[in-house]
Amino acid sequence: DSGVTQTPKHLITATGQRVTLRCSPRSGDLSVYWYQQSLDQGLQFLIQYYNGEERAKGNILERFSAQQFPDLHSELNLSSLELGDSALYFCASSFGTVQNTIYFGEGSWLTVV
Amino acid sequence: KNEVEQSPQNLTAQEGEFITINCSYSVGISALHWLQQHPGGGIVSLFMLSSGKKKHGRLIATINIQEKHSSLHITASHPRDSAVYICAVLSYNTDKLIFGTGTRLQVFP
């Protein structure tokens, strides 16, 4: 058990819809990272938050947004969903701003139909 | 060309065999991680390396910074080692993780 909690574990939704994925980091960790793993692209970094502030951005689409709340949990919002957004979305956390030690959540499987 | 390349992409082995998975990268790095992803999807960190060699049970990871290459070895492989093994490098310039596409290992009894 990594200590990183993600919900929901599985989600099926229709094209055009909006979903929210939630992540609770390990106790004491201040950074939260979001990753997307699709069949054809492998793992890709989306975005990082550190202590409530956006820290780094990767290949995140404009239809996607994230935030980190005062209790340090984070949400990834995916809107105007397309079939190609079907993927496994991982959250990870670390204490500092650099991901020297990786703790991943179990992932949220998103299927867009 | 990907910044992190893994080989082979797929690997099958008989139980007991010695297995090697390779990772080459083209960027400057602060550290390199080996990750294991089981069919259920969860990802576990196996090693973090910045130099030399580390061993944990039947797993050994090595890195050659000059050659920008790392290897993951599994001795006396077992069916429960069947998983996808992913190499990830922490870019020195961007502090971001860059992932290889993974090596799918199947070990048969």
Q: What is the pLDDT along chain A (113 residues), one digit of tens a residue?
A: 789 999 999 999 999 999 999 999 999 999 999 999 988 778 899 999 999 999 999 989 999 999 999 999 999 999 999 999 999 999 999 998 887 777 899 999 999 99
Binned at pLDDT 50, 70 and 90, residue B40 comes out as confident
Per residue in B54-89, pLDDT (tens digit) is 999 999 999 999 999 999 999 999 999 999 999 999
> Terminal CA-to-CA distance of chain B, rounded, Å?
36
Alpha carbons A25 and A91: distance in angstroms, whole number:
8
Identify the pLDDT of residue A86: 96
- CB-CB neighbours of A103 under 10 Å: 21
Identify the pLDDT of residue A112: 97
Q: Cα distance from A11 to chain B (closest Cα, Å)? A: 14
Q: Cα distance from A107 to chain B (closest Cα, Å)? A: 7
- CA-closest candidate to residue A87, choices A107, A67, A71, A103: A107
Rounded (to 5) percent helix, strand, coil in chain A:
5, 55, 45
Alpha carbons B26 and B48: distance in angstroms, whole number:
18
Binned at pLDDT 50, 70 and 90, residue B2 comes out as confident
Contact B30 A103 (CB under 8 A): no
Identify the pLDDT of residue B109: 95
Alpha carbons B67 and B105: distance in angstroms, whole number:
25
| Interface A-B: count of C-beta contacts within 8 A | 55
Contact B30 A100 (CB under 8 A): yes
Its sign, for the CA torsion B5, B11, A88, A52, is: negative
Contact A43 B88 (CB under 8 A): yes
Identify the pLDDT of residue A89: 97
